[in-house]
Amino acid sequence: MTLDFKHSQAAHCENGVTSNLLRYYGVDVSEAVIFGISSGLFFAYLPFLKVNGLPITSFRPLPGMIFQRTATNLGIKVYRKKFRNKEDSMAALDKALDAGIPVGLQVGVFNLTYFPKPYRFHFNAHNIVVFGKENGHYIISDPVMETVESLSYEELLRVRWARGALEPKGQMYYPLKVPAKIDVAPAIRKGIKKNCRDMLTIPVPLFGIKGIRYLSKKIKKWPEQLGDNKAALYLGQLIRMQEEVGTGGAGFRFIYAAFLQEAAAILHNNRLLDISQAMTDTGDRWRDFAVIAGRIIKKRSGEGESYAILSNILAEIAERERAVFSELKKFIP
């Protein structure tokens, strides 16, 4: 039994799952618009929280927020459940599939057999949709994969019960009740408004624009403070978060620019096109940052390519993004 579900690839798993699930219920909203509605753009630098001895940098809000905020802003009721027992979580999935419901699942990627091996770390906030079961194999729409995949009962159980940080505990979710008429425009306004707040006004200097400025100040001291090797490891971690599968490039900045472009058409406001262009420009600067960082990691940096230059680029990005969100804030009072 396989449901008539359309698998579309997306840059980011949670955007993709949300967009694909909503389309099944006749709500056709692109990945970029989902990202904008859910205020997906973010920046956080958390030097006190370390994974494998490297500080955490994030370009997005906490996992689960994108689906939750999209549903809230569009007035969609959501079913969401975590489990105590492994077999129960599988039985609940089968039951939903039998009832004709494609199911969103949170999974760990370490044991995700179809995933490219170099990307299989203990990361537990990946999202997929199961939309069928054939000969004991579950049919899977994983938004970062080009084609439809499948997993056996044991393989799926294993990834639903990955352990460690952000463990899924078999979590499953799907839209419960979708209103007959969806109005995207107000949801877009709400999403932009919240994103302005997140980027401009969180009163802790680790988040949003302030976080980028903070990192800009810290990064130039890394070689001296940490030594060249450790500094390069810090840099590598940063680039992985910024560019790895799922960001659409430049730490989600290009997806956000794509969102602003679509928003301009939906809200009939050409001013947003200029802001989208400015967002693209900051994305290009994030890419410049990654190019230089990559050369430093490989110890192939040329004259003038140093942590001090990276620091300057970040300071410039912070200023550009401050300008972008200040403009957006004027636009949505």
Partner 1 sequence: MKKDQVPQDDANLLEGRTRDVCYAVDEKGNYVQVLSTGWEPKSVALLQAWKEINAQVDEAVHLVKTEKASPLAFFMAKCMFDVKLLSDYTDIPKRKIKSHLDPEQFNHLDEATLMKYAEAFNITPDELVNWQKQTDSPPGSGGKS
Considering beta carbons, is residue 94 or 167 the nearer one to partner 1?
167
Verify binding: residue 86, partner 1, rule CB under 8 A: no
Please tell me the distance from the alpha carbon of residue 20 to that of residue 152, in angstroms, as a whole number.
22
DSSP annotation of 113 reads: T
How would you class 25 by CB atoms within 10 Å of its CB: exposed for 0-12, middle for 13-18, buried for 19 or more? middle
Look at the block and give the residue holding tokens 């306004």: 189
Considering beta carbons, is residue 198 or 262 the nearer one to partner 1?
262
Verify binding: residue 231, partner 1, rule CB under 8 A: no
Q: Which of 79, 86, 153, 167 binds partner 1 (CB under 8 A)?
A: 167
Residues 300, 265: contact at Cβ < 8 Å?
no
Verify binding: residue 71, partner 1, rule CB under 8 A: no
Cα–Cα distances (Å) from 322 to 68, 194, 254, in that order, read 26, 15, 16
Verify binding: residue 280, partner 1, rule CB under 8 A: yes
Considering beta carbons, is residue 84 or 117 the nearer one to partner 1?
117
- Tell the smallest beta-carbon distance from residue 81 to partner 1 (Å): 21
Considering beta carbons, is residue 130 or 239 the nearer one to partner 1?
239
Verify binding: residue 283, partner 1, rule CB under 8 A: yes
Stretch that binds partner 1, among 125-133, 157-165, 172-180, 195-203 (CB under 8 A): 157-165
Q: What does 165-184 look like in DSSP terms, one character per residue?
A: TT--TT-EEEEEE--SS--H
232: alpha, beta or left, given left = phi > 0 and alpha = psi -120 to 50?
A: alpha
Residues paired with 58 in a beta bridge: 44
Question: Which tokens belong to 157?
Answer: 């159980």
Cα–Cα distances (Å) from 78 to 90, 127, 176, 189, in that order, read 19, 16, 5, 21
Q: Which of 88, 98, 244, 274 binds partner 1 (CB under 8 A)?
A: 244
Considering beta carbons, is residue 52 or 135 the nearer one to partner 1?
52
Binding site for partner 1 (CB under 8 A): 9-11, 32, 52, 110-111, 114-119, 121-122, 144-147, 158, 163-164, 167, 232-233, 235-237, 239-240, 243-245, 248-250, 254-255, 257-258, 261-262, 276-277, 280, 283-284, 287, 290-291, 293-295, 297-298
